[in-house]
Amino acid sequence: MSDLGAHVVILGAGHAGGTAAALLRQYGHLGPVTLIGDEPLAPYQRPPLSKAWLKGEADADSLALKPLEFYAEHQIDFRPNTRAVKLARADKIVTLADGQTLTYDFLILATGARAIKLPVPGAELAGLLELRTAADAEALKAAVGPGKRLAVVGGGYIGLEVAASGRALGAEVVVIEREQRLLARVACESLSDFFRGVHEAHGVTFEMGASVTGFVGEDGQVTGVTLADGRTIACDAAVIGVGATPNDELAADCGLDTARGVVVDLEARTSDPSIFAIGDVAHRPMPIYDRMFRMESVPNALEQAKQAASAITGRPAPAGEVPWQWSDQYDLKLQIAGYAFDADEVLLRGDPASGKFAVFHLKGDQIQSVEAINSPPEFMMGKQLIGNRKPVSKAKLVDLSVSMKEVVA
């Protein structure tokens, strides 16, 4: 079912929504495309916010997915600073916050996710920051600098990237993590230990196994983070990076299937054939792992934008991808492919002390995921092997004298 003249309304102008709009035009869609975003900016890249942008190595122009003129030139009706508040599926009408209504033929939900807030006393103090948007990053940049004390709540990727950038800007940085190790949900122990060592070598301090019970302040400005053991960690600003939750309320309210995200099929279509959901908000099938889940990554946003734009314009669906993501901290390049679902063995290739190694998670003799530090061959080959499900020789995989091209069993 494709109709190149259909009106496509995209709710959410992040990486997923912005890419879907551009791809619709690239794929020959002729009908009107309306792109609704609740930020003042046209679609931009979020990953640099915690890295190059925070350190002043990237500007607004380089963050933008497309130049602003692009949208008018390609007849994409981009509307910033507004959001959808209601969806009437029977009539295919979206109501915006300013009261305007739009009638769609196809709707793409690209509403993303929002940072989880800590339900503790003092959470309303100034100087408590999160990092989702360019505006958040602007506030953070203003709050860090030489001599400033920055508390980072949450030792996940966002928190660690902020810690690294904070140190680069000369701030004192303490990371407060609830678990006993960093990246506890996503990485194995050797990787957690490695990252902690690197950050400590750069002067970051850690409070592990520490529960935040509240924030204290003076004149409305945060001055400290209180912990369950009674201590207060003094700070001038705090960044909360404890995960995100999908913005799926609009979908749930109008009866679309949701499950911690909007449930979609392999072409990103929801339980309503006229509505798609892409990016952080989507709960999608991933055949190589034989399950459904929700991902928060740029490659996921791009892939699903391709799926939805392909379905709407009648193109064949893109070939299934291997999910992946990356993180930059100091001079480390971390590349991760796949997810360690059902893994029964963890193998280390290379020596963490060398600053260059990879961790493979295997299920039987198949690779489920790889975390590669400064090791592109391990990442690239691992990603291929996750996709093609070829068995690997474990003996070769841990042997650095055997090249990654030769590890197939």
Those residues with Cβ within 8 angstroms of residue 44's Cβ, 6 or more apart along the chain or in another chain: 18, 60, 63, 64, 65, 134
CB of 314 to other proteins, least distance (A): 17
Going by the DSSP 8-state scheme, the letter that residue 190 receives in this structure is: H
> 127 vs 338, which CB is nearer to other proteins?
338
CB of 328 to other proteins, least distance (A): 6
In terms of Cα–Cα distance, which of 226, 227, 202 is closest to 215?
226
> 340 vs 404, which CB is nearer to other proteins?
404
> 192 vs 335, which CB is nearer to other proteins?
335
Tokens of 124: 């309303």
Residue 87 corresponds to which amino acid?
L
> 170 vs 377, which CB is nearer to other proteins?
377
CB of 34 to other proteins, least distance (A): 18
> 90 vs 319, which CB is nearer to other proteins?
319
CA distance 335 to 324: 7
Return the residue matching tokens 């489920």.
Answer: 368
In terms of Cα–Cα distance, which of 407, 377, 408 is closest to 390?
408
CB of 351 to other proteins, least distance (A): 18
339 within 8 A of 323, measured Cβ to Cβ: yes
CB of 324 to other proteins, least distance (A): 7
For β-strands 8-11 and 33-36, DSSP reports them as: parallel
In terms of Cα–Cα distance, which of 257, 312, 306 is closest to 279?
306
Q: Which residues sit at the interface with other proteins, rule CB under 8 A?
A: 22, 25-26, 45, 47-48, 62, 64-67, 70, 74, 298-299, 302, 319, 321, 324, 326, 328, 333, 335, 376-377, 380-381, 384, 404
> 7 vs 356, which CB is nearer to other proteins?
356
CB of 20 to other proteins, least distance (A): 13
Tokens of 15: 């990486």
